[in-house]
Amino acid sequence: MIWLTWRQHRKQALFTLGALALLAAIMVPTGLAMHAKYDSLGLAACRAALGTAPLVTQTEAVARCESLGHQFQDRFSGLVFVAVLFVVLPVLVGVFFGAPLVAREVEQGTHRLVWTQGVSRRQWAVAKFGLVGAITAVLAIGYALGVSWWFQPLVGATTGRLTYISFDVQGIVPVAYTLFALALGVFAGTYWRKVLPAMGIALVGFAAVRVAIEVLARPRYLPAQSLSFSPGGTQTPNPASGDWVMQQGVRNAAGDMVLPDAQIGPCPPSGCGAGPGPREAGPGAYNWLQYQPGDRFWLFQGIETGIFVLLAAALLFFALRRLRTIA
């Protein structure tokens, strides 16, 4: 049964390996260039010197670190759009591997031949789901390791690992997303027994669940922390902390938000000019941030991985139950 499953899906596996090889041909040279530039600029040492405290004293070291980060971004910021491709890749597994796994057999009627040759539905499903799932997991782990290495300099020079897209393509969550996409495709194929509808449902379902968890659940895995600092003081948010800033603004002395999505600094001797400054916000105003600390990255990765692995297991369970009703 395992040999039959391999023969049925070997073309898909070889095509996937070819696509990953092509992707590696793009990632390796660009990744090496980014790592070399990151090291030559001294960004790693600069950010290490600033530490991970949410606030630091405004010094030349802070300004220099931010300047180096801007230099890196000016050269490589265009590659951030490549990361969007990495976000999309897991769903393709569900669409092109998971959905046809059962739907194509049922649509073409070949499942009846196997089930009448002394192979039970459960044996058939375990062999198919197990082999394809194992291959998918191995490929997903390799993909996740490669993308994490490639993306590391971009994250180090910009906003940190907890922000959208950065979080989604690093660590262990890409593996969980891929397994969930595969399970969702298999489940869709047991209900919509034609390949194209199953592929469409897998695509839409994956996008809906991913967006819902990313927007509604992830910011609430742990309570966010708040930070206040004076516009005229010497303290400033640490550009090396990796904190995920979720909201920011300026509050007046009573604590009411008066300038949302803004931060103000001290007025220069010549006056505040047209931009927001302490005078515009009123006496006693202060800058305010709501954020998730950057050191929660691996904890959030573990939580989100657990959610998607449990969803994948539940979908496979219901897919196995659904197979009993297929004639």
Evaluate whether 189 touches 198 at the Cβ level (below 8 Å): yes
30-62 pLDDT tens trace: 999 999 999 999 888 888 888 888 888 888 888
**Contact predicate 294/52, CB 8 Å:** yes
Q: Is the pLDDT of residue 91 over 60?
A: yes
pLDDT in tens, 100-138: 888 887 777 665 666 666 667 777 777 778 888 888 898
- The arithmetic mean of pLDDT across residues 15-33, rounded, is 85
pLDDT band, residue 223 (cuts 50/70/90) = very high
Helix spans in the chain (H): 2-41, 43-50, 60-76, 80-93, 99-108, 110-115, 121-157, 173-191, 195-212, 278-281, 297-323
Q: Measure the CA–CA gap between 169 and 243, rounded to whole angstroms.
A: 17
